[in-house]
Amino acid sequence: MPAISTAEAPIPAEPIPATARTFARALADIRGGMRERELWSHLGWQDIKQRYRRSVIGPLWITLSMAITAIALGLLYSQLFGASVGTFLPYITVGFIVWQFMLGCLVEGTETFIANEGLIRHLPAPLTLYSFRTAWRQVLLFAHNLLVYLVVVAIFWSDLATPGYVLSEGGIPQPGLSWSIVLAIPAFALLALNGVWVSLLFGVISTRFRDIPPVINALTNLLFFMTPIVWTTDILTSKFGAATSDWRILIAELNPLYHYIEILRAPLIGGVQSWHHWAVVGGLTVVGWGLALLVLRNYRSRVSYWV
């Protein structure tokens, strides 16, 4: 049997530097993902159409189910907390819409690479592409839910535009809807930016450790009730005083999701805006992207082996 015939067997003249685990490759992956926006935006939209294929009203089901939930929760909790429906229903609606976006990024983020197993194993593409697909799908769902917000604001405009309205009795007066609503745009951009790192980081970890998705799923209900969505921080402060050192106040303040919700909810319902929410979200964005980059650097090349 002949050995490797060397006559026609060119091999590289010199060793090739191993670049698999470098930040340069991780950043190149992100750049590559951004370059493919035509593909991931197409796939993300396809995912939505796919989910409602052959249904009569299609993606409007997203809007409709959000509307039903918002109305029911708004009516119920405004009565439970003795609050005015006109302001409490929009509060819950917006909180729930933002929550749905964050939950989607987290839960579907863990499945990002597992769900794209076939594509990852057969076609070379930047990993970030799949994270963008997941995040973009959530953005589109959010856009559908925004219709509910627009209707709710139109109905309760007079309540929300009144300066000094309170969410629940004894709460802090809210400034009311004003031009500051434009802050919702950078707030949402920041949220979407966070959606991408969440999907990258949790996606890679979940691909390696398949226990993570069920763990996250098990925690979602707890997170929902721990976060001021159907209740307000007003209730905490009116019961326990405004001292921020009280552990019961810290329940909200130490919950990162509260800050994420607040930067978008406050401008949308004309609530009090506080810079400290922006600071916390900004900090978490930097830390999150840092972690995602680190994971991408170390494990990017392993994902195709793990799926």
Partner 1 sequence: MVSIDVWNASVDFPIFDAKTRSLKKKVLGKVGGKIGTESRVPIIEALRDISLSLKEGDRVGLVGHNGAGKSTLLRVLAGIYEPTRGSSRIVGRVAPVFDLGVGMDPEISGYENIMIRGMFLGMTRKQMSKRVDDIAEFTELGDYLQMPLRTYSTGMRVRLALGVVTSIDPEILLLDEGIGAVDAAFLNKARDRLVDLVKRSGMLVFASHQDDLLFELCDTAIWMDEGHMKMRGSLREVLTAYKGRDPFAHLDPPQPVLTNSGDS
Residues that bind partner 1 (CB under 8 A): 1-5, 7-13, 15-20, 38-39, 42-43, 46, 50, 53, 118-125, 208-212, 301, 304-306
What count of Cα atoms within 13 Å lies in the side-chain half-sphere of residue 25?
A: 15
| Cβ at position 125, least distance to partner 1 in Å | 7
Write down the least CB distance from residue 204 to partner 1, Å. 14
Task: Identify any residues that bridge with 174 across adjacent strands, giving them in sequence order.
Answer: 165
Helix (H, G, I), strand (E, B) or coil at 165: strand
Q: For residues 264 and 302, give the distance between their C-alpha atoms in angstroms, rounded to a whole number.
A: 36
Give the Cβ contact number of residue 134 at 10 Å.
30
Q: Shortest approach of partner 1 to residue 12 CB, angstroms?
A: 4
112: helix, strand or coil: helix
Q: How far apart are CA 201 and CA 61, in angstroms?
A: 30
Least distance (Å) between residue 213 CB and partner 1 = 11
Name the residue nearer to partner 1 (CB basis): 128 or 233. 128
Q: Token pair for residue 190?
A: 């920041």
Tell me which H or E stretch contains 191: helix 184-208
Of the pair 124, 164, the CB lying nearest partner 1 is at 124
In the complex with partner 1, which residue's Cβ is closer, 5 or 245? 5
Query: Which is nearer to partner 1, 17 or 164 (by Cβ)?
Result: 17
Nearest distance from C-beta of residue 212 to partner 1, angstroms: 8
241 SS3 class:
coil
Comparing CB distances to partner 1, the nearer of 38 and 164 is: 38
Token duo for residue 14: 């010199």
Query: CB-wise, 1 or 243, nearer to partner 1?
Result: 1
Chain centre distance of CA 221: 16
Cβ at position 192, least distance to partner 1 in Å:
22
